[in-house]
């Protein structure tokens, strides 16, 4: 009693409005709706994947065709994330430190991939770099084509992660290093990069996770040959189309697990970067 009386006026200014605001009821509705829309379908997926037991799941998720698709998907997603880490940082750097006419236009263009439907992204790349390329560059039916499509859809992640950190960056440290005789490369490597690293990593992780599940941008680029140029999402799509539902579910769960691992790693990176900020 005494304890409750002592804590009541000070500790719970938030708890009282939450109850009074009908919070528990609204919260219950929201959680129920989320469960129905998000969790129930994923539970159904997982249940179907393991319908015939763990052995059957493993057999389907690691079939030769699935392994080939996962290798292609993981390799290209990692490549896209790595290129984004470098190029995205360069873009953020130019947007923050450079000034030139038309910079605002460049700033606007960065978000284009978020606004553009993925199937349109794939088609636009084919329009210029496809088999009837007006500029004589044909990347359709190649892995390079898939990589370019992934680079298109994942472009904003690293830029948007690094930009705010760079904006907040204290230029004094740079000036101090320069006055002590450090060259621009040394400053970039020893002073700036350590500060940017968490943001670069978390942007690259987002790009990686996004690339893993990509479908629309890659489906038109190649002929999606099994074992050769078939992306993981494309494999799942063709499996559900040819009504091999069980293997579609198994490969889906495997791809989902890979994406979740990427997301958890991202969460960890974000936590760490927050700690660094403090």
Neighbours of 8 (CB within 10 A): 12
What residues contact residue 120 under an 8 Å CB cut-off, 6+ apart?
A: none
* Residues between 170 and 189 that touch other proteins (CB under 8 A): 184
Q: How far is the CB of 223 from other proteins (least distance, A)?
A: 11
Q: Which two tokens stand for residue 215?
A: 């479908």
Residue by residue, what is the 3-state secondary structure of 83-121? Answer: HHHHHHHHHHHHHHHCCCCCHHHHHHHCCHHHHCCHHHH
Among 8, 11, 32, 41, interactor with other proteins by CB under 8 A = 41
Which of positions 57-96 make contact with other proteins (CB under 8 A)?
87, 90-91, 93-94
DSSP string of 27-61, one letter each residue? HHHHHHHHIIIIIHHHHHHHHHHTTTHHHHHHHHH
Task: Check binding of 113 to other proteins (CB under 8 A).
Answer: yes
Task: Report the nearest approach of other proteins to the CB of residue 66 (Å).
Answer: 14
What's the min distance (Å) between Cβ of 174 and other proteins? 11
Judged by beta carbon, residue 2 or residue 243, the one nearer other proteins is: 243
- Please tell me whether residue 144 binds other proteins under the rule CB under 8 A: no
Q: Which of residues 209-238 bind other proteins (CB under 8 A)?
A: 209, 212-216, 219-220, 232-233, 236-237
Torsion angle of the four alpha carbons 137, 140, 141, 147, in this order, in degrees rounded to the nearest 10: 100
Number of C-beta neighbours around residue 75 at 10 A: 13
Contact flag: residue 31 with other proteins (CB under 8 A) = yes
Min. distance of Cβ 253 from other proteins in angstroms? 8
Q: Which of 127, 144, 175, 176 binds other proteins (CB under 8 A)?
A: 127
CA separation for the pair 149, 126 (Å, rounded): 10
27 binds other proteins (CB under 8 A): yes
Q: Is 268 in the site for other proteins (CB under 8 A)?
A: no
Instruction: For the CB of residue 5, give the shortest distance to other proteins in the complex, in Å.
Output: 21
- The residue count for binding other proteins (CB under 8 A) is 84
Q: Which of 231, 252, 199 is nearest to 93 (CA)?
A: 199
């Amino acid at each position: 009693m005494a304890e409750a009386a002592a804590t009541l006026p000070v500790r719970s200014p938030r708890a009282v409005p939450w109850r009074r605001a009908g919070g528990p009821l609204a919260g219950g509705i929201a959680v129920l709706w989320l469960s129905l829309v998000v969790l129930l379908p994923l539970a159904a997926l997982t249940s179907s994947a393991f319908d015939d037991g763990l052995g059957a799941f493993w057999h389907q998720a690691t079939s030769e065709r699935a392994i080939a698709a996962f290798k292609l998907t993981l390799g290209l997603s990692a490549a896209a994330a790595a290129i984004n880490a470098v190029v995205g940082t360069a873009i953020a750097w130019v947007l923050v430190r450079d000034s030139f006419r038309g910079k605002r236009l460049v700033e606007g263009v960065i978000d284009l991939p978020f606004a553009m439907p993925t199937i349109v992204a794939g088609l636009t790349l084919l329009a210029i770099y496809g088999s009837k390329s007006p500029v004589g560059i044909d990347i359709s039916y190649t892995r390079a084509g898939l990589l370019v499509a992934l680079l298109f859809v994942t472009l904003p992640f690293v830029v948007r992660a690094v930009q705010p950190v760079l904006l907040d960056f204290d230029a004094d440290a740079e000036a101090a290093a320069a006055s002590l005789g450090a060259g621009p490369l040394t400053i970039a490597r020893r002073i700036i990069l350590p500060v940017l690293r968490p943001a670069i990593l978390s942007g690259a992780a987002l790009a990686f996770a996004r690339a893993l599940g990509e479908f629309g941008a890659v489906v038109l680029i190649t002929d999606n040959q099994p074992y050769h140029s078939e992306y993981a999402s494309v494999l799942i799509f063709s499996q559900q189309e040819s009504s091999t539902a069980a293997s579609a579910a198994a490969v889906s769960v495997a791809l989902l697990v890979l994406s979740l691992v990427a997301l958890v790693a991202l969460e960890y990176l974000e936590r760490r970067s927050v700690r660094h900020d403090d």
